[in-house]
Amino acid sequence: MQRYKYYLKLVYTDVEMSNILLETDDTDTSDGESILVELFGKSPEVRVLDFFMDHPLNDFMQTEIAERTGMNPRTVKRVTESFLKDEIIQINRKIGKAVLFKLNSKNPIVKKLRELEITASIDEY
């Protein structure tokens, strides 16, 4: 249950989401940060989740995630194992010893985050 702490903080009721969007309307997104990182910070969990949400159809090895996010491979391993256990991501395929992970778009938390991302991006413009 403790593991859901990060995810539950990300999934707000409609009223709370509206308040967040109102607070972030004046922010400048020109620094290239994604909406999720802007709203929830740069924790390893948010950065890996944001990476998967930016590439929902692709699958990645942990080493590739570490390279593309600039994170330590051990941190990526810890986060992906946690996400896998909570079904935020899933194993898409294995090639030899390499395991490739993909966003689990059927997970209710992922669906809510996708809605939040869309709502926030629409409200920005």
Amino acid (1-letter code) at residue 18: S
Sign of CA dihedral 108, 13, 2, 102: positive
Which pLDDT tens digit goes with each residue over 5-46? 445 454 444 434 444 443 433 333 335 678 888 888 889 999
**Maximum alpha-carbon separation in the chain:** 49
CATH class held by domain 4-24+35-124: mainly alpha
User: Does pTM top 0.85 for this prediction?
Assistant: no
**CA atoms of 103 and 58, how far apart (whole Å):** 8
